[in-house]
């Protein structure tokens, strides 16, 4: 192992344990920038550098980042990124997935799913496949146009949104919820597992409780929609464009009331469902 690599390991292992797994036989690392369970945010620049120093490529999964915080893929020299557009991008279920390919990889990266929309001249209807030379080579078939429509409106809002201001509000929302959780919910056994350090926090807060499932079901029945991830995680996403501080207060107050009244113990909330 070369010395820069060793230096990187020692510098990054404590904050980014994933870097400890990097080795000379690592080819590609696929990693979420924000962990979907804990809400922990990774340092994209630092992790990308460590991956490159190990001689590997990185594919960032930005499902829980895009629309929630500023992202600088080119500034971090990222190779590839993928994501959905139905979480913080507000595209709704069925909204299109997306792909980022660094310009330096565009010529060499192929799309194994060859479809007419990825053709250099889709409307020429040629018999042989010739991929587009641009990012459009990653298209496959006809896009589901109706599911793009909500996204058009959402993107128009993002066009006029200052992402630093959005991030600042996001951190205030999650910070306020953590403060309320510590003050009102900890005594009911609900524990914050999302990092308190702002630099390591996405736009969600995760709490744990051994009865997380029925508690979340009761909360949803009371109009506060979070979700549950096995075995014991209650997730709360904060979309800064339209979630306000009063919403945060109301969510914590509703959860506190459910814990105090024991509403969650009603048998109807114990029933397991497909969508969590
Ligand atoms: C939401 C999400 C996806 C997107 O999955 P779809 O197949 O587009 O529904 C991918 N990865 C993570 C970590 C996610 O949270």
CATH of the domain at 260: 3.90.1150.10
CATH of the domain at 90: 3.40.640.10
Q: Ligand 1, atom 10: nearest CA belongs to which residue? A: 63
Residue 208 has φ and ψ, to the nearest 5°, of -115, 150
SS3 12: helix
Say if residue 131 is in the same domain as residue 176: no
Domain encompassing residue 258: 163-270
pLDDT in tens, 98-120: 999 999 999 999 999 999 999 99
Say if residue 117 is in the same domain as residue 177: no
Q: Ligand 1, atom 9: nearest CA belongs to which residue? A: 84
Say if residue 148 is in the same domain as residue 209: no
pLDDT at 20: 82
Tokens matching residue 166:
């959005």
Q: What's the whole-number average pLDDT of the chain?
A: 93
Say if residue 134 is in the same domain as residue 242: no
Say if residue 233 is in the same domain as residue 97: no
Distance of CA 243 from the midpoint of ligand 1 (Å) = 22
Q: How far apart are CA 249 and CA 222, in angstroms?
A: 14
Say if residue 8 is in the same domain as residue 127: yes
Measure Cα distances from 58 to 17, 30, 195 in Å: 16, 6, 24
Say if residue 145 is in the same domain as residue 247: no
Closest CA relative to residue 140, chosen from 150, 131, 151, 127: 131
DSSP per-residue string spanning 135-185: GGGG--S---HHHHHHHHHHHHHHHT--HHHHHHHHHHHHHHHHHHIIIII
pLDDT in tens, 219-270: 999 999 999 999 999 999 999 999 999 999 999 999 999 999 999 999 999 9
- Cβ(158) to ligand 1 under 6 A? no
pLDDT in tens, 146-155: 999 999 999 9
Say if residue 199 is in the same domain as residue 82: no
pLDDT in tens, 159-172: 999 999 999 999 99
> How many structural domains is the chain composed of?
2
- Cβ(97) to ligand 1 under 6 A? yes
Say if residue 19 is in the same domain as residue 127: yes
Tokens matching residue 179:
């403060």
Answering whether pTM is above 0.85, one says yes
- Cβ(248) to ligand 1 under 6 A? no
Say if residue 174 is in the same domain as residue 130: no
* Angle, vertex CA 60, rays to CA 55 and CA 64, nearest 5: 155
């Amino acid at each position: 192992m070369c010395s820069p690599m060793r230096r990187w390991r020692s510098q990054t292992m404590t904050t980014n344990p994933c870097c400890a797994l990097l080795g000379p036989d690592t080819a590609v690392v696929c990693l979420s920038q924000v962990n979907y369970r804990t809400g922990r945010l990774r340092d994209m620049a630092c992790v990308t550098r460590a991956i490159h120093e190990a001689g590997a490529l990185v594919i960032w999964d930005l499902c829980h980042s895009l629309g929630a915080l500023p992202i600088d893929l080119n500034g971090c020299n990222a190779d590839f990124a993928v994501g959905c557009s139905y979480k913080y991008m507000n595209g709704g279920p069925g909204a299109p997935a997306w792909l980022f390919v660094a310009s330096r990889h565009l010529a060499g990266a192929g799309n194994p799913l060859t479809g007419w929309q990825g053709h250099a001249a889709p409307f020429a209807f040629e018999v042989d496949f010739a991929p587009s030379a641009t990012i459009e080579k990653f298209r496959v078939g006809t896009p589901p146009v109706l599911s793009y429509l909500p996204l058009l409106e959402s993107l128009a809002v993002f066009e006029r949104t200052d992402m630093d201001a959005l991030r600042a509000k996001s951190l205030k929302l999650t910070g306020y919820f953590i403060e309320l959780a510590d003050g009102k919910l900890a005594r009911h056994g609900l524990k914050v597992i999302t990092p308190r350090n702002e630099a390591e926090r996405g736009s969600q807060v995760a709490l744990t409780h051994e009865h997380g499932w029925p508690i979340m079901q009761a909360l949803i029945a009371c109009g506060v929609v979070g979700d549950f991830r096995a075995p014991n995680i209650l997730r709360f996403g904060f979309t800064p464009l339209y979630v306000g501080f009063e919403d945060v207060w109301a969510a914590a107050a509703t959860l506190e009331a459910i814990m105090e009244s024991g509403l969650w113990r009603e048998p109807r909330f114990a029933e397991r469902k497909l969508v969590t």
